[in-house]
Amino acid sequence: AQTVTQSQPEMSVQEAETVTLSCTYDTSESDYYLFWYKQPPSRQMILVIRQEAYKQQNATENRFSVNFQKAAKSFSLKISDSQLGDAAMYFCAYRSGHTGTASKLTFGTGTRLQVTL
């Protein structure tokens, strides 16, 4: 079974600074997808970024980028120019890439990000 580990329960960053959230995962599969979701106090899960394991290039979405290290099974999220609105719980998630299989996401325990002035 796949597992996802987020070792940082809480992180804090000053506005306009950069912060990196860590995520490691364990799988025996070669084809899979990794995601970062954000959950603000409203509790709505919002997709931040997605990475396909077969792609060597790290995904980026505006101020959000990932450092995907497949051999090390590491998938960290970097938030640049942090804004107050980035304050939320961040979840790392894994999904198998086997075609036709269920879309089950396996989540980490989350990292609560605080953004200070």
Closer by beta carbon to another protein, 52 or else 73: 52
Minimum Å gap between C-beta 113 and another protein is 17
Minimum Å gap between C-beta 98 and another protein is 8
Closer by beta carbon to another protein, 6 or else 82: 6
Minimum Å gap between C-beta 32 and another protein is 11
Minimum Å gap between C-beta 105 and another protein is 6
- Nearest-CA neighbor of 98 among 59, 65, 53? 53
Closer by beta carbon to another protein, 28 or else 103: 103
Helix (H/G/I), strand (E/B), else coil: 86 = helix
- Nearest-CA neighbor of 92 among 10, 22, 28, 30? 22
Closer by beta carbon to another protein, 13 or else 59: 59
User: In whole angstroms, what is the distance from residue 93 CA to residue 90 CA?
Assistant: 10
- Nearest-CA neighbor of 108 among 38, 20, 12, 7? 7
- Nearest-CA neighbor of 105 among 50, 28, 54? 50
What does the binding site for another protein look like in residue numbers (CB under 8 A)?
33, 35, 37, 42-47, 50, 91, 97-110
Which residue is listed with tokens 């025996």? Answer: 28
